[in-house]
């Protein structure tokens, strides 16, 4: 009884969160959900699109919705710290991590924490920075810790990175290698909004701008930790686990795919599925979730043999699994 009320309260909070973001980011409910899913799955997300599609705004709005103020370092009143780093080619790792500086008073080197020490990190245009910087970021994303000199600093257990990048083909970019892309739970392409939504945006951009400033914090730090806990407890039916196995296996055996999905990829997929179900107000995963998440979670982990395959191969594999599941009846219980 207690648990169910708690879960409904969490669910309603989630709804307000997505609604909140939706007020700013028009016509992108799916993408908003993806970002929230990555958040709840304790992962990180990479947004990829041309400049001006609203990536940064989304990230900022999310951060605002869960933290007290944009530039607030403290974790007072259950708020969440948010930092934003604009990646440029001349950025150095120490600009992220921080560095030892000489404290005149103490006559000693004191570590000055860089912007990575936060809860929500917006890494803008990540592919414009040099690989050195990229790997420094990715290390702390994977390990949740930062090594500076001979000391290792532990990050908070809630550390969420929203990275954005421009399409690889654009000038002045250092493309992220697949091995590093793997660290991101999801990679979503933003895409332009539809005609009607765009019209709506143009008509109301002043109003939207106003709202931007007044985004309220709807979730506290504890709420997020609680939701992350809840996401882990979402029920995943054995048949679906089997399905994920088949899916992952199929990516490895598909003739058009050069590099299939890793086991880590599979685990991440499961985490995301659970979080996604929670975002969609369910306490169990269904085949629609697989269909919805296969592209953002798995696509950037695979290396395709040709451009054509990168569009259809994963789709084929998912279609087959979906068709298999659709034909399946209710299997004998557990």
DSSP E strands, the chain:
45-48, 82-86, 98-103, 108-113, 120-124, 145-148, 151-154, 160-165, 186-189, 257-259, 303-304
Q: Give the strand pairing for 45-48 and 186-189.
A: parallel
Residue 213 or 329: the one with the smaller Cβ distance to another protein is 329
Is residue 254 close enough to count as binding another protein by CB under 8 A?
A: yes
Phi then psi for 39, rounded to 5 degrees? -60, -50
Is residue 239 close enough to count as binding another protein by CB under 8 A?
A: yes
Options 291, 295, 305, 310; binder of another protein; rule CB under 8 A: 291
* Candidate ranges 36-44, 58-66, 86-94, 238-246; the one touching another protein (CB under 8 A): 238-246
Options 284, 303, 306, 311; binder of another protein; rule CB under 8 A: 284
Please give the structure tokens belonging to residue 22.
Answer: 């939706």
Please give the structure tokens belonging to residue 73.
Answer: 């370092």
Is residue 286 close enough to count as binding another protein by CB under 8 A?
A: yes
Question: Least distance (Å) from another protein to the CB of residue 175?
Answer: 28
* Candidate ranges 115-123, 131-139, 190-198, 239-247; the one touching another protein (CB under 8 A): 239-247
Is residue 287 close enough to count as binding another protein by CB under 8 A?
A: yes
Residue 204 or 323: the one with the smaller Cβ distance to another protein is 323
Is residue 322 close enough to count as binding another protein by CB under 8 A?
A: yes
Is residue 192 close enough to count as binding another protein by CB under 8 A?
A: no
The SS3 of residue 152 is strand
Is residue 305 close enough to count as binding another protein by CB under 8 A?
A: no
Question: Least distance (Å) from another protein to the CB of residue 238?
Answer: 10
Residue 158 or 269: the one with the smaller Cβ distance to another protein is 269
Query: Tokens 């697989």, residue?
Result: 290
Is residue 4 close enough to count as binding another protein by CB under 8 A?
A: no
Distance separating alpha carbons of residues 172 and 18, to the nearest angstrom: 34
Is residue 253 close enough to count as binding another protein by CB under 8 A?
A: yes
Provide the CA 235 distance to its chain's centre, in angstroms: 21
Question: Least distance (Å) from another protein to the CB of residue 160?
Answer: 28
Residue 13 or 324: the one with the smaller Cβ distance to another protein is 324
Is residue 235 close enough to count as binding another protein by CB under 8 A?
A: yes
Among 93, 25, 13, 29, smallest CA distance to 54 is for: 25
Q: How far is CA 158 from CA 41, 88, 175, 208, in A?
A: 11, 26, 27, 29
Q: Contacts with another protein: how many residues (CB under 8 A)? A: 33
Is residue 288 close enough to count as binding another protein by CB under 8 A?
A: yes
Distance separating alpha carbons of residues 328 and 326, to the nearest angstrom: 5
Q: Is the dihedral of CA 229, 230, 231, 234 positive or negative?
A: positive
Residue 208 or 322: the one with the smaller Cβ distance to another protein is 322
Is residue 320 close enough to count as binding another protein by CB under 8 A?
A: yes
Please give the structure tokens belonging to residue 251.
Answer: 């990516």
Cβ-based burial of 199 (10 A; exposed 0-12, middle 13-18, buried ≥19): exposed
Question: Binding pattern to another protein, positions 201-230, x when CB under 8 A?
Answer: ------------------------------
Q: Work out the end-to-end distance of the chain between its first and last CA atoms, rounded to an integer number of angstroms.
A: 24
Is residue 327 close enough to count as binding another protein by CB under 8 A?
A: yes
Phi then psi for 220, rounded to 5 degrees? -95, 170
Residue 200 or 283: the one with the smaller Cβ distance to another protein is 283
Provide the binding-site residues for another protein, judged by CB under 8 A. Answer: 235, 237, 239-240, 242, 253-256, 282-288, 291, 313, 316-317, 319-320, 322-331, 333
């Amino acid at each position: 009884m207690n648990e169910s009320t708690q879960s409904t309260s969490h669910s309603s909070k989630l709804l307000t969160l997505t609604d909140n973001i939706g007020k700013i980011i028009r016509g992108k409910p799916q993408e908003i959900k993806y970002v929230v899913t990555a958040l709840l799955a304790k992962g990180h997300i990479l947004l990829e699109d041309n400049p001006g599609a609203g990536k940064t705004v989304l990230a900022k709005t999310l951060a605002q919705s869960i933290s007290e103020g944009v530039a607030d370092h403290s974790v007072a009143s259950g708020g969440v710290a948010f930092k934003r780093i604009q990646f440029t080619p001349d950025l150095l790792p120490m600009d992220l991590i921080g560095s030892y500086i000489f404290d005149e008073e103490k006559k000693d080197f004191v570590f000055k924490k860089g912007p990575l020490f936060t809860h929500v990190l917006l890494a803008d245009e990540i592919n414009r920075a040099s690989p050195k910087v990229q790997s420094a970021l990715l290390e702390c994303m994977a390990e949740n810790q930062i090594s500076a000199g001979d000391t290792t600093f532990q990050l908070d257990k809630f550390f969420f990175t929203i990275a954005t990048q421009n399409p690889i083909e654009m000038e002045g970019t250092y493309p992220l290698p697949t091995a590093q892309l793997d660290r991101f739970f999801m990679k979503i392409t933003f895409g332009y909004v539809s005609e009607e939504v765009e019209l709506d945006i143009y008509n109301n951009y002043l109003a939207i701008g106003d709202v931007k400033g007044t985004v309220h914090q709807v979730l506290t730090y504890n709420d997020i930790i609680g939701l992350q806990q809840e996401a882990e407890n979402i029920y995943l039916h054995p048949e679906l686990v089997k399905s994920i196995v088949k899916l992952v296996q199929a990516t490895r055996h598909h003739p058009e795919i050069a590099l299939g999905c890793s086991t880590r990829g599979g685990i991440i997929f499961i985490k995301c599925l659970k979080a996604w179900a929670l975002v969609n107000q369910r306490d169990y995963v269904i085949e629609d979730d697989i269909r919805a998440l296969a592209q953002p979670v798995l696509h950037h982990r695979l290396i395709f043999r040709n451009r054509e395959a990168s569009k259809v191969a994963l789709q084929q594999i998912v279609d087959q699994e979906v068709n298999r599941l659709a034909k399946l009846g209710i299997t004998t219980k557990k």
